[in-house]
Amino acid sequence: MSLYQVQKLIYHVNRDPERRERYRHDASAFVKTYDITEQEGAAILNVDVRALYTMGVHSLLLRPFTLLNKVSNEDYAKALKGWV
């Protein structure tokens, strides 16, 4: 597992407009530019809140990322609790 790389990717999407646009244009290609596992890449591409949280992604990175991907507050809270 490469938690640092996962968090770095999420940070870049959250904070860097150019990288955010690249992510929005072709998320699969963007994810491949980071040294992460297939499982980590799938969690990012699927915006799998529970998986990312379980991996250890910090909530101050995770919530803005999920907001950019239009995850509602209700769905976010359910995912964190494992209800989804």
Exposure string (b/e) for 15-43, b if CB count within 10 Å is 16 or more? eeeebeebbeeebeebbeebebeeebbeb
CA 20 to chain centre: 12
Spatial separation of the C-alpha atoms in residues 66 and 21, rounded to whole Å:
15
pLDDT-derived band at 84, boundaries 50, 70, 90: low
Residue 76 has pLDDT above 80, yes or no: yes
Q: What is the pLDDT of residues 11-70, one digit of tens each?
A: 999 999 999 999 999 999 999 999 999 999 999 999 999 999 999 999 999 999 999 999
Supply the pTM of this predicted model. Answer: 0.93
Residue ranges of domains in the chain? 3-81
The CATH superfamily assigned to 3-81 is Dioxygenase LigAB, LigA subunit (1.10.700.10)
